[in-house]
Structure 1
Amino acid sequence: MVIPVRDVNPVRRTPYVTYALIAANFVVFLLTPGIAGSVAGQSDLSQLCHLQAFLEHYAAVPRELIHGQLPRLVPTGEVGVGPHGAGCVVAPPEYRKSPPASVFTAMFLHGSWLHLLGNMLFLLIFGNNIEDRLGHVRFTLFYLVCGYAAAYGFAYFNDTSGDPLIGASGAIAGVLGAYLVLYPRARVWVLVPFLIFLPLRLPAWIVLGFWFVLQAVYSSGGGVSSAGTVAYAAHVVGFVVGMALAWPLRPGTPPPPEPRGLLWGRHAQPGW
């Protein structure tokens, strides 16, 4: 798997929405109950119970999205002792959960630093150009549509699952799909792990096409959605929806600048 570092595709305006989304994701991650222990690598039972209760409330759950099957008992965040030892206390929910609204809140939740940083890296590199092309308002709507389509698409194929679906990757996959359609020839600097990390400058169609093929292959083995696994099917759906929404904009999209220097290896010109 290649790691993108930056693209050679300047923007005309400041991507305020992209920056705001990144900031919001970091703030929500740091404020998520029970996440402090996971960051330090020392989650105790109390922290895990608080995290479970939070995710049950705010994460999207496939069977809730498709069938409206809300649980009768949910974790309260408290720790209790039962016949089988200590565990998380469950009780009837004290709130009324809206499955459609949970898709929105789930788009700002992440299960680990790796999950968060990986998503935000892709959004930072590729989101600014899509926001530049669409404008701030249309980009915001585009991001939300892709996120909702990815969540419901995943839920459709996993309609009996009660595992929480979290993360911004479905919406970001839509951004990647749009980038592939609008800027297939833009150069992207990536790090390729081969004994060491080799810096290469590749066309976007190779970088993003390879990413999409991997997601499609993995999803064919059955996408899953719990905090420790990846919802590959959501990535595939979000990517395809992003491509479809961006396709009408292709004719009026100016091509990215053609950088001089080497295609493979380090760039010989300033401003690599």
Structure 2
Amino acid sequence: MIPLKDSIPHRETPFVNYFIIALNCLVFLYETSLSPAELETLFHNFGLVPARYTHPVWAMFTGLSPHNYLPFFTNIFLHGGWFHLISNMWALFIFGDNVEDRLGHKRYLLFYLLCGIGANLCHFMLNADSTLPTVGASGAISGIMGAYLILFPFSRIITLIPIFFLPYFIEIPAFFYLIAWFFMQVFSGVFSLANPYASSNIAFFAHIGGFIIGIVLLPLFKNKNYRTWYPDEIYFNV
């Protein structure tokens, strides 16, 4: 399922959401200027490598400081390829503007970052011995999706479903779309734990953790002065 658009327009220009998308794109353009060896070094230094904290001797041997916790933040702005970047930024573009409307610009930025850091902690706890760098904004975006589920459950997501190579478009209520997405992550994450030999480069538990953290943190960040936008105001501008 590929989300294309939601049915709720934003009230104000989502400056912070646009800034986050632009920053991720700029960082990725920098990545493309690096040689493969330089890019690998960048990912190991600024991506999240859980083993650098759980195996400090190994970390120091490989040149990684076990006392540097900056990667829990910096890995949110790194991506492993064009598809990784575009899919993440597209999801953020669809869901982030409405959440920013509801929280306000400053709260939204802090909320996004905390969701990303929390998602990284979840990944770390369940992959403590991993020597692979984890990069990507998907954990933070999962938090935004969790918040969207609570704030706009009756929104509709225009979704592309390829059937035998033919595009099929359908409107799905946000509640069902996001719940289905979440349980797909849970199923995939549990399968990856039950089958340690099944290789996957997707941090499912960062997605799961970010989604739950977004729901849990949301009450602390909601703008209490926000007035609900009713359907007649949306469609008829009354």
What TM-score does the superposition give when structure 2 sets the normalisation length?
0.86
Question: Quick one: distance in 1 between partners of 2:142 and 2:38?
Answer: 30
CA pair 21-65 structure 1, distance change in 2 beyond 3 A: farther
In terms of fraction of residues, the more strand-rich structure is 1
Q: Which residue of 2 aligns with 1:207?
A: 177
Q: What is the aligned counterpart of 1:128 among 84, 97, 107?
A: 97
Equivalent pair of 1:61/1:99 in contact (CA under 8 Å): no
Answering whether residue 34 of structure 2 is matched by residue 60 of structure 1, we say no
Q: Which residue of 2 aligns with 1:141?
A: 110
Instruction: Tell which deviates more after alignment, 12-21 or 249-258.
Output: 249-258
Instruction: Tell which deviates more after alignment, 63-72 or 195-204.
Output: 63-72
- CA deviations over 1:34-88 (Å, ceiling 9, x no partner): x358xxxxxxxxx3222211111111111235565662344xxxxxxxxxxxxxx
Amino acid at match of 2:97: N
CA pair 185-112 structure 1, distance change in 2 beyond 3 A: same
CA pair 102-123 structure 1, distance change in 2 beyond 3 A: same
Amino acid at match of 1:221: F
Which structure has the larger Rg over C-alpha atoms?
A: 1
CA pair 98-144 structure 1, distance change in 2 beyond 3 A: farther
Equivalent pair of 2:53/2:67 in contact (CA under 8 Å): no
Equivalent pair of 1:107/1:167 in contact (CA under 8 Å): yes
Q: Which has the higher contact order (CA 8 A, sep 6+)?
A: 2
Amino acid at match of 2:189: S
Counterpart mapping for 1:78-117 below 5 A: 92=63, 99-117=68-86
SS of 1:107's equivalent? helix
SS of 1:201's equivalent? strand
Stretches of structure 2 lacking an aligned partner (at least 5 in a row): none
Amino acid at match of 1:58: F
The sequence identity of aligned pairs, in percent, is: 36
- CA deviations over 1:171-191 (Å, ceiling 9, x no partner): 000000000011000011110
Question: Quick one: distance in 2 between partners of 1:60 and 1:192?
Answer: 33
Q: What is the aligned counterpart of 1:239 among 187, 211, 228?
A: 211
Question: Quick one: distance in 2 between partners of 1:158 and 1:12?
Answer: 40
Q: Which residue of 2 aligns with 1:257?
A: 231
CA pair 197-3 structure 1, distance change in 2 beyond 3 A: same
CA pair 146-20 structure 1, distance change in 2 beyond 3 A: same
SS of 2:161's equivalent? strand
Answering whether residue 27 of structure 2 is matched by residue 28 of structure 1, we say yes
SS of 1:192's equivalent? strand
Question: Quick one: distance in 1 between partners of 2:16 and 2:79?
Answer: 19
Stretches of structure 1 lacking an aligned partner (at least 5 in a row): 38-46, 75-91, 261-268
Aligned length: 227
What TM-score does the superposition give when structure 1 sets the normalisation length?
0.76
Question: Quick one: distance in 2 between partners of 1:141 and 1:231?
Answer: 22
Amino acid at match of 1:56: H
